[in-house]
Chains A and B, each alone.
Chain A
Amino acid sequence: MYLYLPVALTSIHVLIPIGLGLVVGLLSGLFGVGGGFLMTPLLIMLGIPATVAAATDSNQIVAASTSGTYAHWKVGNVDFKMGLYLLAGGFLGGLVGVQAIKVLRAMGNADFVIKMTYVLMLGIVGTYMFIESLSIMKKKPTEEIKTDNENKIGIFLKRIPMQTRFEKSGVTHSALVPIVLGGFVGILAAIMGVGGGFLMVPVMVYILRMPMHVVVGTSLFQILFTCIEVTFLQAYTNHNVDFILAVLLLLGSTLGAQVGVVFGRRLKAEQLKILLACIVLAVTVKIIFELTLSPSILLAQAGGH
């Protein structure tokens, strides 16, 4: 059965967005990422205009992350306090990031800088997570997870004033730390035009030292609010949220998120991390291919990425 999408101005078979939503929702329930890096390019491939694809995806993530946050919250895996601090930082970072894009555009070559930042970030984060979780999985029996590296960063973080306890995560940090880190991710996310879940998750795991399962729940909680804001702004200023497409996507993604949470509970933290690392690396490889292979058509609709 085909439905017509009133804002994207195209027709689509209903099973395609539902299936796509299911896959991306599964990823978001498992890893606490929004999945925009996967969804937006796939929607564009299906003939949805780039701007509508990005805006509608954020509407869909609202549903998937509500579903995922709710499931994680039931099992005590959402650190609301940490989430709110990160969110405050992310909001400020987003404002800075939007200005940064303007400066980059004025300097010319903006697309080059943005693409390179994106590939480097993905590559570094993916490789680091992969190697780190692999080495932990190898020395399974012992629990000597604490490394020198952690101590150095840990000692530095302990010196910052305004130390406060994050009960759910079982960590103590200065309130400034999540705000600054959230801000940093917010800046990058705004510049790269992505939600930033794949950056936020490693930051929470490796710098804030939060347990993996709490990271996933808290990341979803955080993404929920970011995407509510983005959806509203896109609908209000750019008029490019497609309601019908969003509903089809969320039919799949809300279910997928629940399944993801159930699966996630059966996996160990290291297994989750190494899977996420593989996905991030796969996306990196895909982007490198896109950058180096000659495209079949040298024109793209203006207004997208």
Chain B
Amino acid sequence: MKNFRFLILILFLLFADKAFAELTVDANHSHIKIDFFYHGSIVTISGQSDQNADLIIKVSSPEGHQGFKKKGKAAGFLWMNKGELNFEHAPNLYFLHSTKRLEEILSPEEADANTIGYSALGNHIKITPVSDENEKTKWFEEFVKFKESSRLYANSSGNISLTQKNSGQDFSIKFDWPYEAPHGDYIVTVYAAQNGRIIEQAETNVSVEQAGLVKALADMARDNGALYGLISIAIALGAGFGVGLVFRKGGGAH
């Protein structure tokens, strides 16, 4: 009897799945080139989903280690760096946009399981050294503040525009891509949620690459430090002398 019910449930789910418009996602600007005049970009994420689904769009860089200096009070009243703080499994960039407030569309467990939202991210990131949960929360909040001030973390609800169609809905969101985000690959994931659970997800990529002079200089600074240093010094000496000479001529004229 139990097995029979289970079978029906599966059949129902399979059938129900067919009824959904398939979730798709696309980024208009999947290759961002950082050239000499780069000052950030604008990215539009769009796609289609089932009509009834609430949507969550997450853009993040691969997780990794990030080191910080923490400020604290020395001798009771002087603010200075007091030791280091390490964040593990922390993405450098994390944007989260949803059609409604996250609490309304996703259960906390489901959010945690997919690292959706600051609260889930806070549970996911490991911070050392901290003595207790309160301290961890405090430093995670500081971490988010730091990241938001460099425009690398952002969080919004209600900014995804939706257009209803017979077969489903078109969604799209347009946002500034910050120049503070370094070159690398970024993952865009769209989650469709219903009744507090994720029912479908789709993924695409945004890759940011250095190009031209920026790439040449960055590569040289990294791979050929000695030559890079000597050229930097030579240019500085040349510029100093050059300006000195120009001024002497200018000075002699009057």
Contact = CB atoms under 8 A, between A and B. Distances in A.
Interface string B219-248: 001100110111111011101111111011
Interface stretch (A96-104, A148-156, A159-167, A236-244): A236-244
Interface stretch (A35-43, A67-75, A266-274, A276-284): A67-75
Contacts of B34: 4
Interface string B107-149: 0000000000000000000000000000000010011011001
A287 to B, nearest CB: 10
Contacts, number: 185
A63 to B, nearest CB: 4
Interface string A289-305: 01111111111111110
B243 A258 contact: yes
- What is the size category of the interface that chain B forms with chain A? 35 or more
A47 B150 CA distance: 8
Interface residues of A, number: 64
B252 to A, nearest CB: 11
B33 to A, nearest CB: 10
Contact of A246 (B81, B85, B232): B232
Contacts of B37: 1-4
Interface string A214-256: 0000000000000010011111110111111011001100110
Interface stretch (B20-28, B50-58, B67-75, B188-196): B67-75
Contact of A7 (B80, B81, B218): B218
8 contacts: A3-B37, A7-B217, A11-B40, A70-B241, A111-B80, A250-B239, A254-B244, A295-B79
Interface of B: 34-40, 67-72, 74-75, 77-82, 84-85, 139, 142-143, 145-146, 149-150, 179-180, 182-183, 210, 213-215, 217-218, 221-222, 225-226, 228-233, 235-237, 239-245, 247-248
Interface of A: 1-4, 6-7, 9-11, 47, 59-60, 62-71, 74, 109, 111-112, 115, 228, 231-237, 239-244, 246-247, 250-251, 254-255, 257-258, 290-304
| Cβ-closest 4 pairs across A and B | A66-B240, A235-B229, A70-B244, A302-B67
